[in-house]
Chains A and B, each alone.
Chain A
Amino acid sequence: MAAVIEIKNLVKDYRVGDMPVHVLKGISFEIEHGDFVAIMGPSGSGKSTLMNILGCLDKPTSGVYMLDGISVGELNRDQLAEIRNRKIGFVFQQFNLLPRTSAVENVELPLMYTDVPARERHERAMKALLSVGLAGREEHQPSQLSGGQQQRVAIARALVNDPRIILADEPTGALDSRTSIEIMAIFQRLNRDHGITMIVVTHDPDVATYANRKIHFKDGRLQLDERIAQPGEAQKDLERLPAEPPEEVAAV
């Protein structure tokens, strides 16, 4: 498998007043296409900064970041926006859906910044919603949806552009444990069926068990990088749970 992400000697410094703060102190790793990676570490370890750089929202101070063969460090603001649009899907802890805007319109949002015609935008958004199990709720507004459903809308939004990678920053942070497993089940399915590279930042060790690979950060350095021989099966775990709230199980 070819590497979709290559990082070499990545350094990120911030300047707080006169004091330079070294957030990332020379990190190197690769993520192969189709992998499912959990990034873990205490707060302040630099994992959010790394996520911002991986997501092309920020640029490294030095070092190389190759995304899908493109050297991100050399791109300008608008070129970065285009890379984000074409290659990356974002899932946030707080969902970040547009309020008073229907689910399907929220999902269409990334396509608004492409040349895709309106009809096709709508069709692709509907398909993405279907694939996260939200058929029939296309016209609901975020306030009419549960937290799990909102996060699924956000996943559909991340999917709609056929991205190479999906970056999820604490995607289960605002959800209960059952809903968290549901979300992870969707991630696993997208990873396995669609070959989308998944990168999930999480505090929760249980969530991390569904990944194929765990990367631990500490003090701006890579502390541990391990393959998980037997990742958890979210769908099976879900079936094992007592069928309590009637919130529909992901339509897998």
Chain B
Amino acid sequence: MKKIVASMKIALRALEVNRTRSALTMLGIIIGVAAVIAMVAVGAGATARIQEQIQSIGSNLIIVLPGSISSNGVRLGSGAVVTLSEDDAKAIAAECPSVSAVAPAVRGGVQVVYGNNNWATTAQGVTPDYMTIRDYTMMSGQFFTDQDVDAAAKVAVLGETVAQNLFGDSDPTGQVVIIKNVPFTVAGVLTPKGQSPTGQDQDDIILLPISTAKGKVLGTNQANAKAVGSLMVQAIGPQAMDEAQQEMESLLRERHRILPGLEDDFTIRNLTEVFAAQETSAHVMSILLGAIASVSLIVGGIGIMNIMLVSVTERTREIGLRQAVGAKTRDILSQFLVEAVTLSLVGGIIGIVVGLVASWLISYFAQWSTVVSPLSIIMAFVFSALVGVFFGYYPARKAAFLDPIEALRYE
């Protein structure tokens, strides 16, 4: 132990003597460690953002769309049912045990007018269940009720983007907006959700009771007055997702009278699964970024080995002298090993600080969220120490096994 302390002192002295060189050698490790920390932080930031977005669309969400995307709505079966309907929604809610809530929805583009302002947005006709399924909360006012749906009341709930554009900072609750010449009373404003995983502004929306939307704004399907654009379904839990999907599929096939062997006239998509795949890819990206940054750490380690080899050659006489006055193999070995590890550790500590600053700068200037994990700091520190040991061992061994006679005579 005393010996280690002693050789650390010797090492620090030797590094002090060649200050510029030591600093330049450390630079390799500093850049390596900083790169690892910053890149892992960027990757973790991306993952965290995607997780946040997945949270924002609601949990255990399944969406049922009419027709299949590939056949573009062209039915191959001979049934009479054209699309999904409000009755389908009611049937799913009643008959599928793995489903906790169903919300039918219709949507369409509308122009919303308030005073001198107007704003083009998407109107969605929904039921109050939609609020539960999408995990919406109210920033002000109230969501409309089942009574409003039954009565086809002329009430609307605004997304934050719509509210901002029409009302600025004042509270729109209780005000009247005009959609397709129909006046709607604003019942409330939704708490903003930000971007969806696909990059859409989830707050650029206006929610209406589905009955009102069909009757007054978006129009009714001529073939089937109860037709809806989509069904939002919430499963009772993350484990029930597959079951819920199967239950719905068989129920809808039965209701739509699709013969075995024929294609579905609807598409069921597990949204959580879709976005979980995105999360995985973000995670892979962060691992890749970290791996690439690790390469620079290894390059830094080679820099240390290079400088240590130069240093051993330069100090051959010193090594010879130390051997002559009684330094054993392990004394010399530990002296140079400690020197290399000191270089890499000091570089590692500075690199951690630089990495933290870099992560902060990236999130501040590039508006790119970064998450610095304590694990990546510990890993970077340990890894830089290992780099010192690994790349310092060869030069140190070379020094320790020099022949004292030749070393003393070395010019």
Contact of B328 among A100, A101, A113 (CB under 8 A): A113
Main SS of the interface on chain B? Answer: helix
Contacts of A90 in B (CB 8 A): 324-325
Q: Is there contact, CB below 8 Å, between B329 and A78?
A: yes
Q: Does B10 contact A (CB under 8 A)?
A: yes
Residues of A101-142 at the interface with B, using a CB-CB cut-off of 8 Å, are: 101, 109-110, 112-115
State which of B119-127, B145-153, B181-189, B314-322 sits at the interface with chain A.
Answer: B314-322
Q: Which residues from A are CB-within-8-Å of B408?
A: 57, 92, 96
A145 at the interface (CB under 8 A from B): no
Q: How far is the CA of A8 from the CA of B404 in the complex (A)?
A: 24
A75 at the interface (CB under 8 A from B): no
Of all chain B residues, which has the CB nearest A105?
A: B13
A228 to B330, CA, bound (A): 44
Q: Identify the closest chain A residue to B17 (Cβ).
A: A100
Interface size on A, residues (CB 8 A): 25
Most buried by B among A57, A77, A92: A57
A114 CA to B331 CA, complexed, in Å? 11
Contacts of B323 in A (CB 8 A): 57, 81, 84
The A-B contact count (CB < 8 A) is: 57
- Give residues 13-37 of B contacting A (CB, 8 Å): 13, 17
Report if A58 contacts B (CB, 8 A). Answer: yes
A52: Cβ under 8 A from any B Cβ: yes
Q: Is B405 a contact partner of A52 (Cβ separation < 8 A)? A: yes
Residues of chain B within 8 A (CB-CB) of A113 are 322, 325-328, 331
Q: Is A204 an interface residue (CB 8 A)?
A: no
B310 at the interface (CB under 8 A from A): no
A155 vs B17: C-alpha distance when bound (angstroms)? 25
Contacts of A112 in B (CB 8 A): 6, 10, 327
Given A52-B405, A58-B405, A100-B17, answer yes or no on A81-B321 (Cβ-Cβ < 8 Å). Answer: no
- Give the chain B neighbours of A57 by CB distance below 8 A: 323-324, 404-405, 408
Q: A96-B408, A100-B17 are in contact. Are A77 and B329 (CB under 8 A)?
A: yes
CB pair B325 A85 closer than 8 Å: yes
B2 lies within 8 A of A115 (CB): yes
Complex CA distance for A112 and B323, rounded to whole angstroms: 12
Interface centre among A100, A114, A157 (most CB of B within 10 A): A100
Asked if A33 CB lies within 8 Å of chain B CBs, one says no
In the complex, residue of chain A having the shortest beta-carbon distance to the beta carbon of B10: A112
Is the C-beta of A21 less than 8 angstroms from some C-beta in chain B? no
Chain A, residues 202-238, CB within 8 Å of chain B (1/0): the string is 0000000000000000000000000000000000000
Q: Could you say which residues of chain B place their CB within 8 Å of the CB of A82? A: 326, 328
Contacts of B321 in A (CB 8 A): 96, 98, 109
Q: Residues of A contacting B322 with CB < 8 Å? A: 109, 113
Tell me, rounded to whole Å, the shortest Cβ–Cβ distance linking B207 to chain A: 78
B335's nearest neighbour on chain A, judged by CB, is: A112
Q: B317 and A85: CB pair below 8 A?
A: no
Is A171 interfacial (CB-CB < 8 Å)? no
Residue in B2, B17, B322, B326 whose Cβ sees the most chain A Cβ within 10 Å: B326
CB contacts (< 8 Å) of A157 on chain B: these are: 325
- A34 CB, nearest partner CB in chain B, Å: 23
Q: Shortest beta-carbon distance, B313 to chain A, in Å?
A: 16
**Complex Cα–Cα for A55 and B322 (A):** 14
Q: Is A22 close to B, CB under 8 A?
A: no
Are A85 and B2 in touch, CB under 8 angstroms? Answer: no
Beyond A98-B318, A100-B17, A115-B2, whether A110 also contacts B404 by CB under 8 A is no
Q: Is A189 an interface residue (CB 8 A)?
A: no
Separation of A115 and B331 alpha carbons in the complex (Å): 13
Interchain CA distance A110-B318 in the complex, whole Å: 13
Instruction: Give B323's nearest chain A residue, CB to CB.
Output: A81
Residue A86 at the chain B interface, CB threshold 8 Å: yes
Q: Is there contact, CB below 8 Å, between B6 and A81?
A: no
Residues of A within 8 A of B (CB): 52, 55, 57-58, 77-78, 81-82, 84-86, 90, 92, 96, 98, 100-101, 109-110, 112-115, 157, 161
Besides A90-B325, A109-B325, 11 new A-B residue pairs in contact (Cβ under 8 A), listed by A number: A55-B324, A57-B408, A78-B328, A81-B323, A81-B326, A81-B328, A84-B324, A84-B326, A96-B317, A110-B325, A112-B10
- Pick the 7 closest A-B CB pairs, nearest first: A85-B326, A110-B325, A113-B326, A78-B328, A81-B328, A96-B321, A57-B404
Q: List 6 A-B contacts (CB under 8 A).
A: A55-B324, A57-B324, A77-B328, A84-B325, A112-B10, A161-B325
